[in-house]
Amino acid sequence: MRIVCIGGGPAGLYFGLLMKKRHPAHAVTVVERNRPYDTFGWGVVFSDATMVAMREWDPETATAIEQAFNHWDDIEVLIKGRRMRTSGHGFVGIGRKTLLNILQRRCEDLGVELRFEHEVDSDLEFPDADLIVAADGVNSRIRQRYEDVFRPDMLVRPNRYIWLGTKKRFDAFTFDFRKTEHGWFQAHIYKFDDTTSTFIVETTEETFQAHGLDKADLPGSIAFCETVFAEVLEGAPLLSNARHLRGSAWLNFNRLVCGAWSHFNGRSHVVLMGDAAHTAHFAIGSGTKLAVDDAIELTRQFERFGHGADRIPEVLAAYEEVRRVDVARIQNAARNAMEWFEVVGTRYADRLEPEQFMYSMLTRSQRISHENLRLRDPAWLEGYERWFADRLTPARAPEGTTGSGRPPPPMLTPFRLRELTLANRVVVSPMAMYSAVDGVPGDFHLVHLGSRALGGAGLVFGEMTCVSADARITPGCLGLWNEAQAAGWRRIVDFVHANSDAKVAIQLGHAGRKGATRRGWEGIDQPLDEGEAWPLISASALPYLPNSRVPRAMDRADMDRVVEEFRRATALAATTGADLLELHAAHGYLLSSFLSPLTNRRTDEWGGSHENRARFPLEVFRAIRAVWPADKPISVRLSCHDWAEGGNTPDDAVVFARLFQQVGADIIDCSSGQVVKDDAPVYGRLYQTPFSDRIRNELGIPTIAVGAISEADHANSIIAAGRGDLCAIARPHLADPAWTLHEAARIGVTDIPWPKQYRSGKTQYETNLARAAATEGR
């Protein structure tokens, strides 16, 4: 084949040499606009996994790169006069120029033609090429030529950064955070050869403008950064090699995703590679890794299907299918890290103490978890756990331990709201059971909730408890509008309090337009037959499903009645001895229908602005707060993202959370979705945790994190980083009532008490876990 790689970066050079090595008959040309052995930029970071792959595919290149590597294990964080360090992280860095020079020499050794100082405007310059690799960077001219095919989605991120270097050597990957009179700056610093370190300075657009850096030339910007980071630089100057840039040396990161990666131009197949196809923020250092992995995978597919030109369509299809998955995973982690740095000043640096700030930074991408940190640096993590336990929960045990000298993991530390103290941070989510008769909680609910309380959770929620008969979702839903229902709840609360350390929460709600449906196993959201149903009310006369009953838009009389129903239910809840009350304003139920513009089309004082849409839910909250005991907390559950065009977003959720905070809400339960049936959530591990993180750290109100939290590792990571104060666990608690006890045992915490009736099973359970771990390690 005739192969032309446009762009002499890592992707084009490495793919060219791999293909020439595997099939010397190929005619391979790499075309580069710069001069021979000339490049720009400072250092790049590699991962161990990438080096393993490079050793497999071309040991000669891998050896040359490894000989030029600089390796370090430590991360150091400087903030608020503190210097903190952790080890075991295993980075390797190399100068970009050194890396490209190694690849260029290897290409020459293998017979790859290198054509320098050649600016390529079009793939049509190479009509004889069978395959054209567009590796010409994020501003790829080839991709731009076929935008309708490649469908690039380019998002310009808000932060500004400048890529500098310094001759001071740093022995750790260093993050330095400095506050000026106009805001925060952060530096990402790492060495890449014996004499030089990369020094990336980043800040928000607002801070950048306030300091006049938009008007500063390159020397002025360098002088400014030297002043801000004078302490860490210790007199070393900052350097730039940005002469190739047009305009300011301060850049905005461009996040790129493409709808397609290949195209046949009538003569040649064109494929995107590296930054031309995708970008990953420098906060996790994966740009070079992605480029190299692209080159390896495309070569692998030629090995699989054959090196003939007739196999190119199959090769390119398989290449894109495989790479999309890994690239999406890396881009997701990079996005998390990028967004963390974009809000680091106001959300974290100003609010968190240095110890927790460092933990938050280390876990910013969500690829590194609590137990992963324990593998990397167990001494540092144990010290952090001890700090967390001693500072936030000194009453846990003497010296903040579990009794054996080991500090408790974050999820097993107590938490206080008003006069309520929870034994730990694990919450059994409200989960619909559809098993009540006339709204009365019966034996099923006693066993269901009681068993989960015995299973070690700190707080046990019943399912949404409806404030009137026509507020129910289904005929099997719990209610709290009469004394019989209150008596049923009292029986559950008394059992939990008498037999466990758990506390009980009652969630009050009104189904609104989602009411009068069948039980979940009979057809979820499907309307009851005529004669079984009841009239529905909502913010606007919009059915939930096309075949759902149409609700009546509420008038003032309806509102007065519903407010009184919530007040009456709250008064009954207070008689049960329940410890916490939650107001359900999420998931498209009645109060949620007022908050979302998708379900609230009113033009009166209850529609339109955030304040108007929240007016009725806030009125309900004030009514229940007035009758709920003053020493007991009230939570509000919000849908923090409608996941549908035109609906509420996390920005709106912050507004609503603030409004509830102002009228006395103690904690926000951060869920999302289910407001409209055609929503499209982006699911994934801990996918709703960012909502909790934002509300907690922007508003300074405690939060409950919800959604796809399934292990102790997840809960510990969330709580330790300050992304939430409690973790609500739903489906795992359906599968395992003793989830908390079992997860504690699984991570080696043996001092957590089990119910006295079950203690004989505790040792055997822990022994079985130890045996399984030993067998797995063989």
Catalytic residues: 589
**Six-digit token pair at 135?**
């590796």
| Alpha-helix runs per DSSP H in 272-311 | 287-305
> Rounded to an integer, what distance in angstroms lies between the CA atom of residue 515 and that of residue 598?
18
Alpha-carbon separation of residue 61 from 72, 105, 291 (angstroms): 21, 9, 15
**Six-digit token pair at 338?**
């990028």
Q: Half-sphere exposure of residue 47, counting CA atoms within 13 Å on the CB side?
A: 14
Query: DSSP assignment, residue 285?
Result: T
C-beta of residue 283 within 8 angstroms of C-beta of residue 18: no
User: Which of 582, 554, 551, 558 lies closest to 569 in space, CA to CA?
Assistant: 582
| CB neighbour list of residue 215: distance below 8 Å, 6 or more residues apart | none
C-beta of residue 519 within 8 angstroms of C-beta of residue 476: yes
For 378, other C-beta atoms within 10 Å of its C-beta total 11
CA 152 from centroid of its chain's CA atoms: 24
**Six-digit token pair at 700?**
């300074």
DSSP H or E run through 142: helix 141-145
> Rounded to an integer, what distance in angstroms lies between the CA atom of residue 177 and that of residue 413?
29
First to last CA, the chain: 48
Find tokens 């009514």 and name the residue. 623
User: Which of 584, 582, 624 lies closest to 459 in space, CA to CA?
Assistant: 582
Alpha-carbon separation of residue 340 from 43, 257, 502, 518, 683 (angstroms): 22, 20, 34, 43, 20
For 437, other C-beta atoms within 10 Å of its C-beta total 11
User: Which of 510, 544, 539 lies closest to 525 in space, CA to CA?
Assistant: 544
> Rounded to an integer, what distance in angstroms lies between the CA atom of residue 332 and that of residue 218?
33
DSSP H or E run through 184: strand 183-191
| CB neighbour list of residue 1: distance below 8 Å, 6 or more residues apart | 23, 26, 27, 130, 131, 307, 308, 309, 312
User: Which of 144, 149, 187, 146 lies closest to 168 in space, CA to CA?
Assistant: 187
Q: What is the dihedral of CA 159, 160, 162, 168, to 10 degrees?
A: -50
Q: Tell me the residue type at 198.
A: T
| CB neighbour list of residue 383: distance below 8 Å, 6 or more residues apart | none
C-beta of residue 167 within 8 angstroms of C-beta of residue 195: yes
**Six-digit token pair at 53?**
């792959």
